[in-house]
Structure 1
């Protein structure tokens, strides 16, 4: 793995130019508060109503359709906010469209990583769980699913959620944080926001997050803990592939599919979180220039101040 980190890196005023692709455009993603308020408030509203419908005593077809429509509306809301914010800004539209193209050059290496990491880490976690007394049946393919999604086929939910979410989070959401923050800080802040964003889903009867909460406190806490590693790894893949939106979509989809493909014990998912946290820590330390490099304008100001001080 090749990184741009140097042995004597200190992080004081160190810029990340050449590490973040086309960093100059990031300054145009200038509505972080508006984006995250709307991208969270609308899903919370729709999903709260969906949760109420899902708990009605009579789950007839109109109720199920209403729950489905509200759930989909919540999922699509962040993407709708992105469209609202960029629709009259040609530079942003062009940037987003450009990043929807398939990765070029070494970008394909990160596509392979995006596919492989969720599956390999899950296999390693399941193998490790054998040492704690869990069975080999975990390696069998699942014949059903661990959750329901109402009238929506589960596979459509797994893949559709990955596509729609990342079209919002990595077209606007990540860049609007990184324009003024270090990538590491932005990743942690986004993890917090994203965890809160998912909260209403835990009240929709039968949905994945609802089943996680029902399974117990350990597995409930594992969900946001896994997000820390997930976001750090996904942002590393995203920026190292040249800000390709396709890469986080693939990573998110692979994670969703791998979680439902095998008869994985919940304890193995906790072990997988531990393994991914270790891996993400190694990557952050190895690629410090990316994660701790100062945003371009601040780095320019720091260099200017340093030049003035030396005169």
Structure 2
């Protein structure tokens, strides 16, 4: 069975996204309400953390429900989760390097605008919390759970009827909306962005578009490796919290990622605008830009 034939079996996009959104928003709605109660205490903060985790799990549980009855999809999922080859490991390294390089270059450029060199110092702790849990916990766990959802089912169910470019644009828009309730959970990452002002909130939304395009570029170049998507997503969260980066510097980083995305798309339009996966030839990105 060809790659295109397998992708055609991911044929429940409306069911997947409807259930994923309903489940996540229901759990997070409870977290929003509870997190703003006065005198919430350790028990309440623990419940907030549980509700945040449940919200993350709903897309994964939906993907599992839609794939478990089809042996072809089960085998496809297993293939994409185990035993990455050297090419996939190189792509995972490239993805991590892109995110680390973009934040370091953004900080360096911000110095020209008068921002402090303190940004290059390591952060003593995460800038947010998830209920009773410190921010480092969701920074590690969320990318793993999310990519086991988005790249086990969510991306391919869009790709079956769209080009890679439009798959990425549609998903980035959806992902922005999906995150919206988190912007109201007290002390959570998205809530702190919202409190910092509209320009940083807008930057977060816009940053998802180049982020998704680059991640899907790596994902399909790596023969749809979910592990490559996890490493890219994980590195983005960790490296953006690792340093004492000024919020304005992350706007510069978004600009750098947009520039890189434009370069990637222009370098190989067939990869992004081809009708099928077979229109995306397996050309190494190292060779493409070497």
Class of the TM-score when normalised by the shorter of the 2 chains: over 0.9
- Say which one has the larger Rg: 1
Give the root-mean-square deviation of aligned CA atoms. 1.4
Q: How many correspondences in the alignment?
A: 278
Q: In the alignment, is residue 171 of structure 1 matched against residue 130 of structure 2? A: no
In the alignment, which residue of structure 2 is the partner of 1:3? Answer: none
> 1:154 aligned to 124, 130, 135, which one?
135
8 A Cα contact 1:202 1:213, kept in partner: yes
146-155 vs 126-135, which moves further: 146-155
Matches within 5 A, 1:16-165: 22-165=3-146
Secondary structure of 2:112's aligned partner: helix
Secondary structure of 2:31's aligned partner: helix
8 A Cα contact 2:126 2:136, kept in partner: no
Distance change in 2, residues 1:182/1:113 (3 Å): same
Normalising by structure 2, we get a TM-score of 0.93
Distance change in 2, residues 1:105/1:144 (3 Å): closer
Q: Using CA pairs below 8 Å that are at least 6 residues apart, which structure has the higher relative contact order? A: 1
Unaligned segments of structure 1, at least 5 residues: 1-20, 299-311
Task: Give the Cα–Cα distance (whole angstroms) in 2 for the partners of residues 102 and 256 of structure 1.
Answer: 24
Unaligned segments of structure 2, at least 5 residues: 280-290
8 A Cα contact 1:29 1:176, kept in partner: yes
Task: Give the Cα–Cα distance (whole angstroms) in 2 for the partners of residues 124 and 297 of structure 1.
Answer: 35
Task: Give the Cα–Cα distance (whole angstroms) in 2 for the partners of residues 189 and 150 of structure 1.
Answer: 31
1:81-121 alpha-carbon deviations (Å, 9 max, x no partner): 01111111111011011000242242222111111111100
Task: Give the Cα–Cα distance (whole angstroms) in 1 for the partners of residues 144 and 223 of structure 2.
Answer: 18
In the alignment, which residue of structure 1 is the partner of 2:180? Answer: 199
Detail structure 1 runs of 4+ shifted over 3 Å in the superposition.
Answer: none
8 A Cα contact 2:128 2:134, kept in partner: no
Task: Give the Cα–Cα distance (whole angstroms) in 2 for the partners of residues 42 and 274 of structure 1.
Answer: 33
Task: Give the Cα–Cα distance (whole angstroms) in 2 for the partners of residues 186 and 101 of structure 1.
Answer: 25
